[in-house]
Amino acid sequence: MKLHFYKYQGAGNDFILVDNRENIVDHHDPELLARLCDRRFGIGGDGIMFLQNADGYDFEMVYYNADGNPSSMCGNGGRCIVAFAKFLGVIENETEFVAVDGPHYAKISAEGTWVSLQMIDVEQITRDGEAYVLNTGSPHYVTLAQQLKDKNVFAEGSAIRNNETYCAQGINVNFVEPLTDTDGYFLRTFERGVEDETFACGTGATAVALAMAAHNNQTGQITTPVKVLGGDLNIRFNYDGERYTDIFLEGPAKQVYAGDIEI
């Protein structure tokens, strides 16, 4: 059969999107999904998403990593599927949808290219040496770095993701460096499931903003710009010294192209 798909990107984090409201595609096939995400033998993408019906919500987001396996929450994927839902006419400018980590609220610009996505509240950050470890819908390791533009993120990130502590479940590894010209940060991320550096990671950018608030003893309403290889993201949240709430991941989400592929 032919699969009709759409390609979206959010700050360079790219995804295959499929309208599966009619349950046409049985997506419980890791080999097929990995082949579709392959950049040489398939469409290519950091992951693949299926937009499906869900009782009580505008839609359900079903997300798989590029290796074809089910994933935890993907922030940039969440923003892209909101833009996709607007394109399909499922929503207008606001939505309540459900993902693997629960319900999410999002708001999209009238042009359909800028999405503010509410993330789950975060109550706990732990330490692994000098690094911060937290879950923003996906597990993240956040460590400060110097001369980040020259760092071998693949080698160092893979080593941390596959060490004794994290190898069983995996973890996303974020290297972060303060920007000199703004109050924000430069971020590079090695993502589990993709098993490589990606151009952006939404839950990673969120994790960095929260971890740096703890690192700098900031509280109150906080806005943190985060620069990634694929562009610029913005994270805003409230931190009372113990709990992070009203967390929003904001950034671009754009349709790149549509097509058909034989599966």
Q: What does the pLDDT read at residue 177? A: 98
74 carries an active-site annotation: yes
Which residue segments constitute the domains of the chain, with CATH numbers given? Answer: 2-119+253-262 (3.10.310.10), 126-248 (3.10.310.10)
Q: What is the pLDDT of residue 183?
A: 84
pLDDT in tens, 190-232: 999 999 999 999 999 999 999 999 999 999 999 999 999 999 9
Q: What pTM was estimated for this model as a whole?
A: 0.94
The count of residues in the chain is: 263
pLDDT of 251 reads: 97
- Tens-digit pLDDT profile for residues 48-91: 999 999 999 999 999 999 999 999 999 999 999 999 999 999 99
The residue from 37, 80, 167, 201 that is catalytic is: 201
Q: Is 167 a catalytic residue?
A: no
